[in-house]
Structure 1
Amino acid sequence: MARLSLLRSSLLFFLIALMCLVEVSLAGGEGSLRPDQCAPACDYRCSKTSHRKPCLFFCNKCCAKCLCVPSGTSGHKEECPCYNNWKTKKGKPKCP
């Protein structure tokens, strides 16, 4: 009887862990930022551009998908492959 209870507990733990893993993989994110951390990270990322409004729009969109924003105000995109590799229909970088 104790063995069956242990088996059920182990199976339940395994299923919960699997559901968490699926949830993370469906989010599409690769980085360690939480969605609520995107706005401040993008605010800094776009702080030196003259095109602040579109920069913030696309940075936040990219951060929501990738959960990552490269350090600095430009460059360093290799830090976030998802952010770096997301392209427009014309093949240009989507993320600032």
Structure 2
Amino acid sequence: MDYKKLVTYFFFLVLIILPFMLLPATAAPGRVGGMEVYCGSRCRGRCAKAGFQDRCIKYCGICCRQCKCVPSGTFGNKHQCPCYRDKLSSKGKPKCP
């Protein structure tokens, strides 16, 4: 096999594989992109009635990514996600909204 054919095959292979490497993560649970989508939608629902929605969504997102769950509803129901319920701030108060 000569050098030109080898280079041609190499570039052909790169053109086939490269698009799959550049695709964003899908919304499958467990993947980073999927968890972002899951947490974003769940936290927007959880913080719908919050006075400071941006702060609520920020802390809910942090808790969701660490715990991989968000309690249902806009308030309470923290028994559904013990990790979310038990997270405390540096001041000893509940961290997750």
Q: Specify the TM-score bucket, using the shorter chain as the normaliser.
A: 0.5 to 0.7
Instruction: Write the mapping of 1:1-96 to structure 2, written as runs, cut at 5 A.
Output: 35=35, 36-96=37-97
CA distance in 2 between partners of 1:46 and 1:69 (Å): 11
Paired AA for residue 64 in structure 2: C
* Local SS of the residue matching 2:63: helix
Alignment: residue pair count: 64
Note the aligned Cα RMSD (angstroms). Answer: 1.4
> C-alpha displacement at 1:80, in angstroms?
0.3
CA distance in 2 between partners of 1:95 and 1:65 (Å): 11
CA distance in 2 between partners of 1:70 and 1:48 (Å): 15
* Local SS of the residue matching 2:65: helix
**Which has the larger Rg?**
2
Paired AA for residue 72 in structure 2: S
Between the aligned residues of both structures, percent identity stands at 46
* Local SS of the residue matching 1:78: helix
Partner of residue 4, structure 1? none
Partner of residue 28, structure 2? none
CA distance in 2 between partners of 1:60 and 1:90 (Å): 19
> C-alpha displacement at 1:90, in angstroms?
1.1
> C-alpha displacement at 1:65, in angstroms?
0.3
TM-score, structure 1 as length reference: 0.64
TM-score, structure 2 as length reference: 0.63
CA distance in 1 between partners of 2:91 and 2:62 (Å): 18
The answer for unaligned runs of 5 or more in structure 1 is 1-33
The answer for unaligned runs of 5 or more in structure 2 is 1-33
User: Greater relative contact order (Cα 8 A, min sep 6): structure 1 or 2?
Assistant: 1
